[in-house]
Structure 1
């Protein structure tokens, strides 16, 4: 006997709510347990200090000074700054015949970062790659 003659049979359906809950729990578990590597945008090789003796050949040093008001001096002679190119020409004149002098930057503690970058750019334009900075020892 068929007692359900007028009733239509319901189609079975899959309930998605428990499946979504399980997927969210798995996602949270993966986020918590995954270690994230910090990739630095800069590749920095830290310098090493040692007590090596300097080589017998010492290149000429050109002292470039800049004060807090962006006044430049090359080997204690005032240099008029009208652009990086003019500063590069002054460095070239100060180097004379030396092909690879050491540029020593003496920057005031209150000098702008841009003024130091200007000196470095002028040295690059002049073709000099040896640049160093002069500092004072901190008093205790």
Structure 2
């Protein structure tokens, strides 16, 4: 009877290797995760027939239906837009700028935003639309 009780005490499961594996898997998923950038507001994009998919969009600029400009979940005005774009473009020079204009926003504001992007030295600007 005494031998049986002692073997049960010796039969504990060692959790250290399993914790090591879980920790390594956690590090792997954190390192390989991709992060989606968002402008910070919900935009009703206009439809387009000739839409093309663009990769490496590093700066997203959103124009709401009330003509507000948003970058990285922060509202900015048109005067400080060029400075913000230059700072973000310096962090990722290979990325492009994508303008997400609401279907009910003013076209003149979208043109002004596009000109601010061009003045900041970014070589490529795209306008985001939804598929028709």
Q: Which has the larger radius of gyration?
A: 1
Between the aligned partners of 1:137 and 1:49, the Cα distance in structure 2 is 7
Between the aligned partners of 1:49 and 1:76, the Cα distance in structure 2 is 25
Higher relative contact order (CA 8 A, sep 6+): 2
TM-score (norm: length of structure 1): 0.50
Q: Quick one: structure 1 residues 67 and 100, their matched pair in 2 at CA, closer, same or farther if it must change by over 3 Å? A: same
Normalized per residue, which structure has more helix? 2
Gaps of 5+ in 1: 1-47
TM-score (norm: length of structure 2): 0.53
- Report what 2:71 is aligned to: 74
Gaps of 5+ in 2: 1-49
Q: Residues 105 and 134 of structure 1 are in contact (CA less than 8 Å); yes or no, is this contact kept in structure 2? A: yes
The two structures, once aligned, show a CA RMSD in angstroms of: 2.7
SS in 1 for 2:100: strand
- Report what 2:119 is aligned to: 125
- Report what 1:22 is aligned to: none
Normalized per residue, which structure has more strand? 2
Aligned residues: 83
Q: Offset at 1:94?
A: 2.1
